[in-house]
Amino acid sequence: MKAIAVEPGAGEPVLVEKPRPEPSPGEALVRTLRVGVDGTDHEVIAGHHGAPPEGADRLVLGHEAVGVVEDPNGTDLEEGEFVVPTVRRQPNGTNEYFERGEPDMAPDGQYTERGIVGAHGFMSEYFTSPAEYLVRIPDRLAPLGFLVEPISISEKAIEHAVASRSAFEWEPESALVLGNGSLGLITLAMFETVLDIDRTYCLGRRDRPHPTIDIIEELGSTYIDSRETPVPEIPDAHESVDLIYEATGYAKHAFETVDALAPNGVGVLLGVPEPWEFEVDGGRLHRELVLHNKALLGTVNSHRGHFESAVDTLSQLPASFTDDLVTGVYGLEEFNAAFETDDDVVKTAVEFDSV
């Protein structure tokens, strides 16, 4: 079968031939339909993140997938069902995080991630997976099923943000997304159409005209150019906000978020920056957090429950939004186009079989 793989750091994914996998007991065989491409894939390709399985020279890419069950292999799945795979898997043996159904909370070294670190991904014509890691998706949502994984990341982030404010009455009226990439736009759409937050903002570094700015404004949100209005100046230019979702990986944003939060607000950090030393006024930030009951939290990955919630969220997103978000779906004969980073690219996917 054909697969898209990379030697981490080589800078270019290639099409390779691999044997079709055989499902082990408890696993199903899935025929891959579409696999999304995101920033993590580009980090793996560049060698900044991730690693192939032990003993392998290349890593099969892809962690945002949707497929159809080809062989249930005795599991509770049925042939022909559309499914989305979760990402994290147990390393050799098991551990308390997986036993609790919370693989997303496992620390480094106690998990592998399909298509990212230590395990081949889903960019192949077929893959196998334990049935417990396959989430059913309605037929009508299958063409966009590769969006379930990124939505699940935001499901977890929002869940944890709300949990951090659960000791008192907290109903956010305003929210800010830092970053106008595909994950930021998906989260903005969730704020606008699913959570129904009154006032939303999205910060980026794009010049008009740009498709992401069009998406932001069509959602009813306000675009903020960080070159004109840095994060600490947002309260004066607009307002202090109740909820901030950071998806830039720009390390200063973690600290600047504190300045942009309203009293009792919470900032959720998802970006993974490179090491960077710079000066901050730690005393002032500490004081701001304490005296105004603000909070910062970090979050990564998601578990099955978040994937299930993400399927429901996907069903609620406007078709006009997803049409604008997905700027290209490419077959294997032109898969390289899915990895291009031109200015007009927002979200892309590789199609292995027709939906």
206 is in an annotated binding site: yes
181 is in an annotated binding site: yes
92 is in an annotated binding site: no
Rg (CA), the chain: 20
272 is in an annotated binding site: yes
79: Cβ contacts below 8 Å, ≥ 6 apart: 69, 70, 71, 72
Distances (CA, A) of 97 to 53, 56, 102, 160: 21, 26, 5, 17
228 is in an annotated binding site: no
270 is in an annotated binding site: yes
94 is in an annotated binding site: no
274 is in an annotated binding site: no
Short-list 123, 140, 170, 113, CA closest to 293: 170
271 is in an annotated binding site: yes
183 is in an annotated binding site: yes
299 is in an annotated binding site: yes
205 is in an annotated binding site: yes
40 is in an annotated binding site: yes
95 is in an annotated binding site: no
301 is in an annotated binding site: yes
Residues tagged in the binding site annotation for NADP(+): 180-183, 205-206, 270-272, 299-301
Annotated binding site: 40, 113, 149, 180-183, 205-206, 270-272, 299-301
Annotated binding site for substrate: 40, 113, 149, 301
